[in-house]
Chains A and B, each alone.
Chain A
Amino acid sequence: MTDKDQVDRLRSDLLRAYYTLSDINLFQAAKWCAEALNGLPEQKESSEDYPDELPHGSIGDDDPRVDQNKFLLAKTYFNCKEFDRAAHVLKSCKSGNALFLRLYSILISVDKRATEQTDGSINIGSVNELTDQQDVSPNNSKEVVNDLNSRLSKIIQESENYLSKNDKGNAFLYYLNGVIYNKKKKYQLAQSNLYNSLKLFPYNWSAWQELIASLNTFEEAITFISKIKAAKSSLSSNIMFQFFEVVVLQEFYQQSASLFDSLNTLISIFPTFTFLKVQQFLIAYHSLDYFQAEATFDQILVDDPLRLDDLDTYSNMLYVMEKRPKLSFLAQFASMIDKFRPETCCVIANYHSMKCEHEKAIMYYKRALMLNKNCLSAWTLMGHEFVELKNSHAAIESYRRAVDTNPKDFRAWYGLGQAYEVLDMHLYALYYYQRATNLQPLDKRMWQAIGNCYEKIDKLEEAMKSFEKALSIDNYANDDGEGVVGVEPHICYRLATVSEKLGNSKDTYKYMKLCFEQEFEWGITDETSKARLWLARNSLENRRFEEAYELAKDLTHSNAHDIEEARSIAREARNRTSK
């Protein structure tokens, strides 16, 4: 019964929140609210406790009738996409919500104009050819951007003015501040503003999203969450906070029992909420459980066939899984629904990339970015495409944009590292790999890459340590001492060569041996063969001829030169033993 009560209360809360949000023209948040509302279990009968009278802008501090007519007029202008006009109408309005709508219109118009003036500024890749032409206008576009930036500062000033005068505050103005501070990369300020906003009005999912965007490292996120929990405000017990926590953990590639627990609780409350299914999908995708992920998303598509959100991620996964027919179908399907959605463009770009038509893929990524310049994955993926085309500089530029819009994208950091490594700028590469590692410390490849870099810049000690780390990650949490599971021969071999360079023969022997031993588990690889050869040579030198013979005689998988050497070792070892 209490459960039903809870659901009912949630229902009415969400409904009220929906009206408030759509009243103030926060469409995405309202959409989320409505989806959540429909994600709740069906009501048995149209109950009478349904709120009849529609609450109007109740979140505001002030009488909704203040400025009402102007507000309505401004809203219609806003809906007709005449943002400046809307802002102008509200010029003399006093209420907090009116001020929000005005500043919000200004923000949108500034953003729109910035995009228009800079032509979306996605001339990456053509950069090299266009540098001369670009030199003509950068001043101009820079000027424009500066001008717009100064208008952003003015928006903040105005809203902070209002907030400092009204001690009750206005949730949406706080939200607006948070958005702008995020834009200006003042994450601390953004966090405090968004926190204030959410305290006043927790059902604004856009604000939660901005909050997530302002958290740049996992450490930061964890401390922030525990801080909210410690504050014991009503916020931490709100259901929205659970959503937040789940998404944060998901975005930082976490998997833990508690995460699944809270996700499952949410799903039990919202059994048909697509958003939660998408989270499930993303978690599975991040933990590389592709089959599970695919099944989840297929279900989503069945439930909500015309949904395009997150389709790009799904297509990435299909690409990795090399499911070509399915990806082709998806591309056709998406372009049938709406050709000019960034998600659609990403799907089509993936399709082209799969067919090795990289130029076309780039074109579609550019289109996606033109439609939404904050399209997170498009920048990174475009970088990958440029790498395919061997255009490292464009790739770097592209990756840079990617980390600029989303510093949490470890793939972009890793891509930057790779691109710089190709250019032989190892110091840069090292830094980027370090960034990637910070985001993804459980990934062996990150540590391997760092080790490589250290080796290149003659920091052999550090290289050793990095490789060791890469080797030990799987065993890090393995307290029960169950022995080494799955050691990659490649890493062992690198460790061995590095310690050889360091003149540490004991370690060299140890790792060569370890590498060689992997032959049984992984099959014969280049590295194991090399290790075998080295071991054979080593035994020969140490006059353990039989061992050397045993090792050398079986070496068959390697290049001609090595095989030749192995034969000679085997011959010599046999000669010596027979003596």
Chain B
Amino acid sequence: MVSNQKTPSQHNSTLFISPMINNRRQNLFITPPNPQAQSLFDSPGSNHSSFFNLDRGNLNPEASSSSSNAPPNSHGNGRISAAEPLTPAEKLRLWRHDALMQHQYKTAEFIGDKVLALTDDPNDAFWLAQVYSNSGNYLRAKSLLTSKPEFEKSVSCRYLAAYCLIKLELWDEALDLVGESNPFRKDEKYQVRNSDGGIKLEASMCYLRGLIYANQNSFEKAKESYKEAILVDVKCFEAFNELINNNLMTPSEEWDFITTLNYRDADDNDELIKLLYTSRLSKYLNVSKLEEAEHILREEYDLGDNCDILLSRADYLYVQCNFDECLSVCEQILRKDLYNFDVIPNYLSCLHELGGKNKLFLKAHQLAENHPTNPMTWLAIGTYYLSINKIIEARKFFSKATLLNPNFGHAWIGFAHTFAAEGEHEQAISAYAFAARLFPGTHLPNLFLGMQHLQMNNLNLSEEYLATSYQICNSDPLLLNELGVIHFHKNNFGKAELFFQEALGAAKYLNSDSKTWISIHANLGHVYRRGNQPFKALECFNQVLKISNKNDSNILAAIGLIYLKLGNCFKAIDILHDALAVSPSDPVASDLLKRALESNKNNGALFLKNAGDKLLDLNLPTLQYRQRQKKQDLIGTHQADLSIQSNKFTTPLTNKTKVLRKDELTANVIQRTHKDADTTNEINLIAHDLEKGEDSSDEDEEVIMDIESD
């Protein structure tokens, strides 16, 4: 009676010690034996397995036979077990288990306690502790699990105890319990197959270790632990999820890692699992592979409408800056599953990007109503405030989100953005730095750090950060753009051009009307301008103007400067006027305009020649016509008419400007002093100013565009 329970090894899962496991066929993946065989697939807790079974049923016929066998089998089991009379303890265990599954914790506790008292078996202690922890009483569960040394020896008990400690946020104790490294690693038998189809406890322990490390801010160790967990058992999705969601690995690391996994643990589902995992990887690399995976999942597995596949699609679209499409995919997901949290960051960023304030408001309210304790809610509220430009409030809510979950990267970056938006570089830097610590695997925090330092004119520091970022991800057009800007500032035009070209290459797949694309082009134009290639520069700028939906005064000013350098000051003035029309207080443009006008003054002769003679020639017919008319007048009437006519001639223009009393208006006179210096020198000076204006404005754009693009 006491000895009918098995001791689980690290290669087993809790399925192994579930009641009646010994009666089940080995290859059947049904979690808890359920007294009511009819409701097998709906019973809580068996979700997972039924999901797999159903899928498999659709896929390979030979598997489907086994799956269709399942219900009769469990019937059979029931019959068999009915044939072999159960011991009283076993009956109690079944009772306990059913009560647990039906969330009747009082019953489960009552019975479990009695079973434990009867058997004193670690497995029964495990299940009782399970009952405690399910009802939220982690401390009790933990103290039960650590009450006896034999309990501590059991792997499953240790796992649950560690889990409870983590829930209680007692990180150090939890780490003591699971050990600082995997105690089973010396076995070197990663290949040991799990016999029961559940998640190996060893993997779960590794996952817990990762969780602890992550909370202790040792992300490198956490990453290793998570990786180990997946290596031990590929089914430990929890660890995979942590790795990917928190960007603990660089994109290339991710892609390397995914190939080293051992999918045999997933049995017949290995292909599916591999594809599913692949679809979650970073979208910066191997786009073709991603698309292939997605295609297979859609076509062969018929998972095209599955939220996770759609989410992967949304991620991909987001990385491509195709916000419109991304938003529609996100909305599709939300239509299917209103309370899906995974999609919310993408959804929020898209709305922010596209100015969907109203929808943001609605979503934030929905979330606040339904999930007041979820950090995502506060992220949504913060994003809403950020997009209506209420920085202070936005910061408050972002910080609330980080309080609820200190490892919530989106919130940290949003928090940092609020400082950046107010020009508080120091604080922004410290917040970004925190985010960078949280996510060693993503290049964005470093990129933002670089951008902040660039704005503070710390070129060297900035370059360092950008270089770090570049090591992590070398294909982000934004990053390449920033690197180009750095080299531009260092007067390294050749290199800058190289980077911008590279950025353009990387942005090839972006929508051509995206802001990044525009700012890269604009920057390239500046490089050409400084590099004395005015015509190439003009081409770039014109491209920008053609695509950009707004007339950027900086671009126009730059074009004006080029024309000025080319000596076409009439055109320059024209363009500069346009620039000032867009932003009337732009100091660079107005200064340039002053200079252009100055040079127009010196070009008088040219104008007189051009305008004068050419225009007069063009208007010759009219003139001649007038002459003829006049002569006729002269013949017909006397000369007095002529003077009348000439007088009339002056009227329409001065229509309503009869008298301009200048003296009275002198009060309004604005005194302007013109410095007389070598024009070309000054133009260069101005050019310098212009660059500054230009680049910083670019960065502004980027900051906006990158909000939560992680």
Q: CA of A392 to CA of B662 in the docked complex: distance in angstroms?
A: 11
Which of B373-381, B663-671, B681-689 lies at the interface?
A: B663-671
Measured CA separation A102–B645 after assembly (Å): 53
Q: Is B287 an interface residue (CB 8 A)?
A: no
Establish whether residues A445 and B650, one from each chain, have CB atoms under 8 Å apart when the complex forms.
yes
Q: Mark A464-477, 1 if CB is under 8 A from B, else 0.
A: 01100100010011
**Smallest CB gap from B570: residue in A:** A434
Residues of A within 8 A of B623 (CB): 442, 473, 476-477
Kindly supply a per-residue 1/0 record for chain A positions 136-155, scoring 1 wherever the CB is within 8 Å of any chain B CB and 0 otherwise.
00010001011101101100
Nearest CB in chain A to that of B354: its residue: A147
- A323 at interface by CB-CB < 8 Å: no
Question: Cβ of A218 and Cβ of B618 under 8 Å apart?
Answer: yes
Interface check A558, CB cutoff 8 A? no
* Residues of chain A within 8 A of B620, CB atoms compared: 477
Find residues 598-630 in chain B having any chain A CB closer than 8 Å to their own CB. 598, 600-601, 604-605, 607-608, 611-612, 614-616, 618-627, 630
- Check: A224 CB closer than 8 A to any chain B CB: no
> Does B657 belong to the interface (CB within 8 Å)?
yes
Q: Are A431 and B355 in contact (CB under 8 A)?
A: no
Is the pair B615, A441 in contact by a Cβ cutoff of 8 Å? Answer: yes
Q: How many angstroms from the CA of A50 to the CA of B621 in the assembled complex?
A: 43
**Would you give the 0/1 interface string for B506-518, flagging 1 where the beta carbon is closer than 8 Å to chain A?**
0000000100000
- Interface check B273, CB cutoff 8 A: no
Q: Which of B262-314 contact A (CB under 8 A)?
A: none
In the complex, whether A342 has a CB less than 8 A from a CB of chain B is: no
Given contacts A255-B626, A400-B581, contact A428 B608 (CB under 8 A): no
A353-B656, A384-B657, A404-B581 given; A459·B672 CB < 8 A: no
B627 touches A424 (CB 8 A): no
Q: Does the CB pair B665–A256 fall under 8 Å? A: no
For the complex, give the distance between the alpha carbons of A471 and B76 in Å: 117
Does A462 sit at the interface, judged by CB under 8 A? yes
Q: Given A186-B546, A424-B670, A442-B622, decide whether A288 and B660 contact each other with a Cβ distance below 8 A.
A: no
Contact indicator B550/A254 (Cβ below 8 Å): no
Report the minimal beta-carbon distance from A31 to chain B, rounded to whole angstroms.
29
Is B646 positioned at the interface, with any CB of A under 8 Å from its CB? Answer: yes
- By the criterion CB–CB under 8 Å, are B618 and A422 in contact? no
Which size bracket describes the interface of A in this complex? Answer: 35 or more
- Complex CA–CA separation, A150 to B672 (angstroms): 39
Q: Would you call A434 and B665 a contact (CB within 8 A)?
A: no
Nearest-neighbour CB distance to chain B for A164, whole angstroms, equals 15
Q: Is A298 an interface residue (CB 8 A)?
A: no
Task: List A contacts of B616 (CB < 8 A).
Answer: 441-442, 473, 476
A288/B621 in contact, CB under 8 A: no
Cα A423 to Cα B664 with chains together (Å): 11
Which of A143, A222, A522 contacts B643 (CB under 8 A)?
Answer: A522
Which residues of the other chain, A, contact B662 by a CB distance below 8 angstroms?
Answer: 422
Asked whether A462 lies within 8 Å of B608 as measured between CB atoms, the reply is yes
Interface size class on chain B is: 35 or more
- Check B657 against A427 for contact (C-beta < 8 Å): no
Q: Residues of B contacting A459 with CB < 8 Å?
A: 601, 604
Minimum Cβ distance to chain A for residue B534 (Å): 20
Question: Are B615 and A428 interface neighbours, CB within 8 A?
Answer: no
Q: Enumerate A394-445 residues with CB–CB distance to B below 8 Å.
A: 400, 404, 411, 414-415, 418, 422-425, 427-428, 430-431, 434, 437-438, 441-445
Contact between chains at A288 and B550 (CB < 8 Å): no
Q: Please tell me if A333 contacts chain B, counting CB pairs below 8 Å.
A: no
Instruction: Tell me which residues across on chain A come within 8 A of B355, comparing CB atoms.
Output: 143, 147
Residue of B nearest to A410 (CB): B653
A457 touches B656 (CB 8 A): no
Contact of A149 among B549, B626, B661 (CB under 8 A): B549
On whether the beta carbons of A411 and B655 are closer than 8 Å, the reply is yes
Q: Given A288-B648, A418-B657, A459-B604 in contact, is the A256-B573 Cβ separation under 8 Å?
A: no
Which of A256, A462, A477 lies in contact with B605, CB distance below 8 A? A462
Query: Inside 8 A of A424's CB, which chain B residues have their CB?
Result: 669-671
Partner of B622, one of A256, A288, A485: A256
Q: Is residue A37 within 8 Å, beta carbon to beta carbon, of the partner chain?
A: no
Q: Is the CB of B581 within 8 A of A390?
A: no
In-complex Cβ contact of A150 among B513, B605, B611 (8 A): B513
Other-chain residue from B573, B627, B645, B665 in contact with A477 (beta carbon distance below 8 A): B627
Query: Could you tell me if B611 and A434 are in contact, using CB atoms closer than 8 angstroms?
Result: yes
A219 at the B interface (CB under 8 A): yes
Whether A486 lies near B618 (C-beta < 8 A) is: no
Asked if B607 and A434 sit within 8 Å, CB to CB, the answer is: yes
User: Max chain A CB contacts within 10 Å: which of B389, B643, B665?
Assistant: B665
* Residues of chain A with a CB closer than 8 A to B651's CB: 288, 320
Q: Is the CB of B657 within 8 A of A415?
A: yes
A162 to B578 Cα, complex, angstroms? 32
**Which one of B513, B615, B626 contacts A438 once the chains associate, using CB atoms below 8 Å?**
B615
Q: Of B389, B549, B581, which is in contact with the most chain A CB atoms at under 10 Å from its CB?
A: B549
* Known A437-B611, A478-B627: A430·B597 in contact at CB below 8 Å: yes
A353-374 vs B, Cβ < 8 Å mask (1 yes, 0 no):
1000000000000000000000
What is the CB-to-nearest-CB distance from B542 to chain A, in angstroms, rounded to a whole number? 10
B642 within 8 A of A: yes
How many angstroms between the C-alpha atoms of A469 and B169 in the bound complex? 91
Complex Cα gap A195–B549 (Å):
24
Q: Is the CB of B600 within 8 A of A431?
A: yes
Residues in B with CB closer than 8 Å to A233 are none
Kindly state the separation between the CA atoms of A255 and B619 in the bound complex, as whole angstroms: 9
Residue from B389, B622, B630, B649 with most neighbouring chain A CB atoms (10 Å)? B622
Nearest CB of chain B from residue A221's CB, rounded to whole Å:
10
Chain B residue numbers with a CB within 8 Å of A392 are 665, 668
- B549, B600, B615, B624: the one contacting A146 at CB < 8 Å is B549
**Residue of A whose beta carbon sits closest to that of B594:** A427
CA distance A434 to B596 in the complex (A): 14
Residue from the list B389, B604, B625, B639 in contact with A257, Cβ < 8 A = B625
CB pair A320–B655 under 8 Å, yes or no, is: yes
CA separation between A164 and B661, bound complex, in Å?
Answer: 59
C-alpha gap A579/B53 in the complex (Å): 137
A258 within 8 A of B: yes
Does B85 reach chain A (CB closer than 8 Å)?
no
Asked if A550 lies at the interface with its beta carbon under 8 angstroms from chain B, I say: no
Which partner residue on chain B sits nearest A466 by CB separation? Answer: B608
Distance of A473 Cα from B620 Cα, bound (Å) = 11
> Shortest distance in angstroms between B665's beta carbon and chain A's nearest beta carbon?
5
CB distance from B668 to the nearest CB of A (A): 6
Cβ contact within 8 Å between B655 and A441: no
B549 close to A255 (CB less than 8 A): no
Select A441's contact among B597, B619, B669, beta carbons within 8 Å.
B619
Nearest chain A CB to B95 CB, angstrom units = 60
Minimum C-beta distance from A480 to chain B (A)? 9
The answer on a CB contact under 8 Å between A427 and B601 is: yes
16 of the cross-chain contacts (CB-CB < 8 Å) are A143-B355, A150-B549, A157-B513, A255-B626, A288-B652, A316-B655, A387-B656, A387-B657, A390-B661, A392-B668, A414-B653, A424-B669, A424-B670, A425-B670, A444-B649, A476-B616
B residues with CB within 8 A of A: 355, 389, 513, 546-547, 549-550, 570, 573, 578, 581, 594, 597-598, 600-601, 604-605, 607-608, 611-612, 614-616, 618-627, 630, 639, 642-643, 645-646, 648-653, 655-657, 660-662, 664-665, 668-672
Question: Which A residues form the contact surface with B (CB < 8 A)?
Answer: 139, 143, 145-147, 149-150, 152-153, 157, 185-186, 218-219, 222, 253-258, 287-288, 290, 316, 319-320, 353, 381, 384-385, 387-388, 390, 392-393, 400, 404, 411, 414-415, 418, 422-425, 427-428, 430-431, 434, 437-438, 441-445, 454, 457, 459, 461-462, 465-466, 469, 473, 476-478, 485-486, 488, 521-522
Known: A143-B355, A147-B355, A390-B664. 14 other contacts (CB 8 A): A218-B618, A219-B615, A222-B618, A253-B622, A254-B621, A255-B622, A393-B668, A411-B653, A422-B662, A425-B670, A425-B672, A434-B611, A462-B604, A477-B627
7 closest cross-chain pairs (CB), A and B: A384-B656, A462-B604, A150-B549, A441-B615, A427-B597, A256-B621, A477-B623
